[in-house]
Homo-oligomer: A and B are copies of this chain.
Amino acid sequence: MNLTYLTLGAGVLALGYSFYRTAWISKQDPGTEKMVKIGHYISSGAMAFLRAEYKVLIWFVLAVAILLGLSANEQSSHSLVAVSFIVGALCSALAGFLGMRVATKANYRTAHAARTGLESALKVAFTGGSVMGMGVVGLGVLGLGGLFALYMLYFAPTTGSEMDRVLNILSGFSLGASSIALFARVGGGIYTKAADVGADLVGKVEAGIPEDHPLNPATIADNVGDNVGDVAGMGADLFESYVGSILGSMVLGAAFIDVLKDVDGMNGLSAVILPLALAGLGIVCSIIGTFFVRVKEGGDPGRALSFGHYFSSAIMIGGAAYAIYALLPATWTTTSILEGTDRVFTATGVLVATVIGLIAGVLVGGITEYYTGTDKKPVTGIVFQSTTGSATNIIAGLGLGMLSTGLPALIIGASIVGAYHFAGLYGIAIAALGMLANTGIQLAVDAYGPISDNAGGIAEMAELPPEVRERTDKLDAVGNTTAAIGKGFAIASAALTALALFSAFMKQAGLKAINVANPTVMAGLLIGAMLPYVFSALAMGAVGRAARSMINEVRRQFNSIPELKNALAIMKKYDGDMKKLTTSDRKIFDAAEGKPEYAKCVEISTSAAIREMILPGLLAVVAPVLAGFLVGPEALGGLLAGVTVSGVLMAIFQSNAGGAWDNAKKMIEKGATIDGVLYKKGSDAHKAAVTGDTVGDPLKDTSGPSINILIKLMSVVALVIAPLII
């Protein structure tokens, strides 16, 4: 148990790091008055969204908590599961809140820092990201570890089955984290795309004003969306993967208690505590890694980020080896859950499983980068197919997305088999954890992207000199790559985490086999595999509806606010070229400043996102409950297997198709030359590429990433209700 406290120490360290860094950011120069004003618009919009979201979710959390409390039975579960659930939901919400707050502080400070140079801008942006990263892992470890420590004191379990009960109560934490995550991801995804499409279609295409222009009423909502979707959404996603993989490993580790009791010198708990210890170690490695992210003016920020990430991964392997050999005996023998026969486990096997997870995560990330990266062959192919119009651009993107599922499926498949071979079901869970141990720095690298993106938008809106925008663009471009890798990584880790939770569910439900040949399992498999399709359709439909309201609102403002109308007429006259403005034009233009009613657009995105997140969210929670209680645990197992495999593939397909369309458009906008032909902005190929990008937006930023959470959440729901349905 001392180790648990040590892990809690690591959690405190992470939060301490977070607060210290937040303070540092707050001390940075926020720049001009205009920048501060814009920054405040964005941060108050973001906070308004969070408030509105949490106001709805609090009822959901209370309702579920009451249901959990009432339905607990005294043999295998306990009404304390409701407490775990509430704490998990609170931690997840808090992580979102803290990350968003610092991101909306860091964005305009990054813009200001970019006036001095690349290095200082990277420093502010990355520091902002690292607050998010450390906040997530800190809250995860402290929340889960803290509850665990309390329950251990209260229940003092000594046998495997007593421990199972404690862990079932603890699984409420994961359920809380996952349900908040799903709503955050779906709501955030709808928010960001509705604002984006609204700002683009009416602002850019109809009115002809540049992206991020202050005259566009939806521009603030668009920037808020980046925070709401990419920062808070990704944070929530990884938070629940992180917590889920730790919990899943603990549940499976409990199978060793009765055997290890005589050998490990800690009442057999070593395999249960190891996941927490690895998570704690990961925090330390991540913090060390952040110190290695540095870049000089003219240097490559991408390399700096990768170096920090890989360095922390390398020391993590060393740390994991130390922890595993220190905690686990060299070998032990126990009955395999699946085969029912004796099986020998080794500490080395557990280490190998950890490394398999780490490597698989890096590989899937790399493949994602290959399929979606600018100037790589697949994206170049889409650019080429754009010459014959929108239809061929779309077909090429869909084909690419589908093709890109091949290697990741093989890699994930191989790592499941490999991790099992070396360390059984426990190995699969540990592999997931190995992938996620570095979540701290991984998320820092991820969250840095939208901060830089926002900084660029603020630079544009505050009319800072062009070299500032160039620097933030450089940071942003790297951010796109890291975002692609991060997405691949998030999917791979979601797959393994879902499997870990799935195995944990089987153990808690006492299932030895889920036989596909059993018709209820097969039906469950088919219906489970269908859910990501329907879920995606709901999410895409929601974006469409929300975007339509946004479009109407922006049009309304353009037509009914006289100052805006006049300024837009001037914009049209000079075709967006501000340098041609005469003094009287300038005056009209200045009169329009501050006239767009940003708050109305923010309000529309917010309420649409909140309203539309309910149905897909409930689908995820209700489906496994219905399957479990109405049909039975085996059918529920089939449902989970179906939603996991289908969801992983749909998520890869949608994310990669969307990412590739986005970068194909960017390649053309930069002026790509392929086979001697120049593709440039304004060409027909460009128009086709814009269509592709717009189609890809809801796929890659709303439905795709939400599926990640869908599959984990359904597994967690199953895990929590397992004792009730057997």
B-binding residues in A (CB < 8 A): 201, 338, 385, 388-392, 394-396, 398-400, 402-403, 405-406, 409-410, 412-414, 416-417, 419-421, 425, 428, 495, 499, 502-503, 506, 511-527, 529-530, 533-534, 536-538, 540-541, 543-544, 551, 637-638, 641-642, 645-646, 648-649, 653, 690-691, 694-695, 698-699
In the bound assembly, the distance between CA atoms of A338 and B515 in angstroms comes to 9
Contacts of A396 in B (CB 8 A): 544
Known A-B contacts A516-B516, A529-B649; A523 and B390 likewise in contact (beta carbons under 8 Å): no
Select A417's contact among B506, B519, B529, beta carbons within 8 Å.
B519
Contact B641 A428 (CB under 8 A): no
**Whole-angstrom distance between the Cβ of A645 and the nearest chain B Cβ:** 4
In the bound assembly, the distance between CA atoms of A394 and B540 in angstroms comes to 11
Copies of this chain, whole number:
2
Select A646's contact among B201, B425, B645, B698, beta carbons within 8 Å.
B645
**Whole-angstrom distance between the Cβ of A410 and the nearest chain B Cβ:** 6
Known A-B contacts A521-B516, A645-B526; A537 and B403 likewise in contact (beta carbons under 8 Å): yes
Known A-B contacts A400-B537, A402-B534, A642-B645; A392 and B544 likewise in contact (beta carbons under 8 Å): yes
Contact A641 B516 (CB under 8 A): yes
Using CB atoms, name the residue of chain B closest to A688.
Answer: B390
Contact A540 B390 (CB under 8 A): no
A to B CB contacts below 8 Å, 7 in the list: A338-B517, A395-B543, A395-B698, A402-B534, A402-B537, A416-B523, A511-B517
In the bound assembly, the distance between CA atoms of A392 and B403 in angstroms comes to 24
Select A530's contact among B406, B420, B506, B518, beta carbons within 8 Å.
B406
In the bound assembly, the distance between CA atoms of A522 and B695 in angstroms comes to 32
Contacts of A391 in B (CB 8 A): 390, 690-691, 694-695
In the bound assembly, the distance between CA atoms of A489 and B599 in angstroms comes to 51
Contact B416 A516 (CB under 8 A): no
Select A515's contact among B406, B515, B526, B533, beta carbons within 8 Å.
B515
Known A-B contacts A392-B544, A522-B499; A637 and B527 likewise in contact (beta carbons under 8 Å): no
Select A533's contact among B403, B506, B519, beta carbons within 8 Å.
B403
In the bound assembly, the distance between CA atoms of A534 and B402 in angstroms comes to 6
Contacts of A648 in B (CB 8 A): 526
Using CB atoms, name the residue of chain B closest to A389.
Answer: B691
Known A-B contacts A399-B537, A526-B409, A537-B402; A515 and B518 likewise in contact (beta carbons under 8 Å): no
**Whole-angstrom distance between the Cβ of A519 and the nearest chain B Cβ:** 4
In the bound assembly, the distance between CA atoms of A638 and B644 in angstroms comes to 14
Known A-B contacts A409-B526, A646-B649; A398 and B540 likewise in contact (beta carbons under 8 Å): yes
Other A-B pairs, 19, CB within 8 Å; known A392-B544, A403-B537, A421-B519: A388-B551, A390-B390, A391-B695, A392-B694, A398-B695, A399-B536, A399-B541, A402-B537, A403-B541, A410-B530, A412-B526, A413-B527, A502-B517, A513-B517, A514-B516, A516-B637, A517-B637, A525-B645, A529-B649
In the bound assembly, the distance between CA atoms of A646 and B529 in angstroms comes to 7
Contacts of A521 in B (CB 8 A): 516
Known A-B contacts A389-B691, A506-B517, A513-B515; A413 and B523 likewise in contact (beta carbons under 8 Å): yes
Contacts of A515 in B (CB 8 A): 338, 513-516
Chain B CB count within 10 A is highest, among A513, A519, A524, A695, for A519
Contacts of A409 in B (CB 8 A): 526-527, 529-530
**Whole-angstrom distance between the Cβ of A411 and the nearest chain B Cβ:** 10
In the bound assembly, the distance between CA atoms of A410 and B529 in angstroms comes to 11
Select A649's contact among B390, B394, B530, B698, beta carbons within 8 Å.
B530
In the bound assembly, the distance between CA atoms of A402 and B391 in angstroms comes to 19
In the bound assembly, the distance between CA atoms of A428 and B521 in angstroms comes to 14
Known A-B contacts A519-B420, A523-B414, A645-B529; A394 and B691 likewise in contact (beta carbons under 8 Å): yes
**Whole-angstrom distance between the Cβ of A695 and the nearest chain B Cβ:** 5
Contact B645 A399 (CB under 8 A): no
Contacts of A400 in B (CB 8 A): 537
In the bound assembly, the distance between CA atoms of A529 and B406 in angstroms comes to 10
Contacts of A421 in B (CB 8 A): 519
In the bound assembly, the distance between CA atoms of A529 and B644 in angstroms comes to 11
In the bound assembly, the distance between CA atoms of A519 and B402 in angstroms comes to 24
Contacts of A420 in B (CB 8 A): 519
Known A-B contacts A409-B527, A516-B637, A517-B506; A649 and B533 likewise in contact (beta carbons under 8 Å): yes
Chain B CB count within 10 A is highest, among A389, A499, A518, A522, for A522
Chain B CB count within 10 A is highest, among A338, A406, A495, A642, for A642
Contact A540 B395 (CB under 8 A): yes
In the bound assembly, the distance between CA atoms of A413 and B530 in angstroms comes to 11
**Whole-angstrom distance between the Cβ of A538 and the nearest chain B Cβ:** 8
**Whole-angstrom distance between the Cβ of A560 and the nearest chain B Cβ:** 21
In the bound assembly, the distance between CA atoms of A132 and B551 in angstroms comes to 52
**Whole-angstrom distance between the Cβ of A337 and the nearest chain B Cβ:** 8
Contact A530 B405 (CB under 8 A): yes
Contact A695 B394 (CB under 8 A): yes
Using CB atoms, name the residue of chain B closest to A514.
Answer: B516
Using CB atoms, name the residue of chain B closest to A421.
Answer: B519
**Whole-angstrom distance between the Cβ of A269 and the nearest chain B Cβ:** 25
In the bound assembly, the distance between CA atoms of A529 and B410 in angstroms comes to 11
Contacts of A398 in B (CB 8 A): 540, 695, 699
Select A691's contact among B390, B541, B649, beta carbons within 8 Å.
B390
Contact B518 A338 (CB under 8 A): yes
In the bound assembly, the distance between CA atoms of A499 and B521 in angstroms comes to 12
In the bound assembly, the distance between CA atoms of A518 and B512 in angstroms comes to 10
Contacts of A395 in B (CB 8 A): 540, 543-544, 694-695, 698
Contacts of A385 in B (CB 8 A): 544
**Whole-angstrom distance between the Cβ of A47 and the nearest chain B Cβ:** 30
In the bound assembly, the distance between CA atoms of A645 and B525 in angstroms comes to 7
In the bound assembly, the distance between CA atoms of A536 and B520 in angstroms comes to 28
**Whole-angstrom distance between the Cβ of A94 and the nearest chain B Cβ:** 34
In the bound assembly, the distance between CA atoms of A524 and B413 in angstroms comes to 7
Contact A540 B646 (CB under 8 A): no
Known A-B contacts A396-B544, A521-B516; A527 and B410 likewise in contact (beta carbons under 8 Å): yes
**Whole-angstrom distance between the Cβ of A404 and the nearest chain B Cβ:** 8
Contacts of A413 in B (CB 8 A): 522-524, 526-527
Select A544's contact among B389, B399, B529, B691, beta carbons within 8 Å.
B399
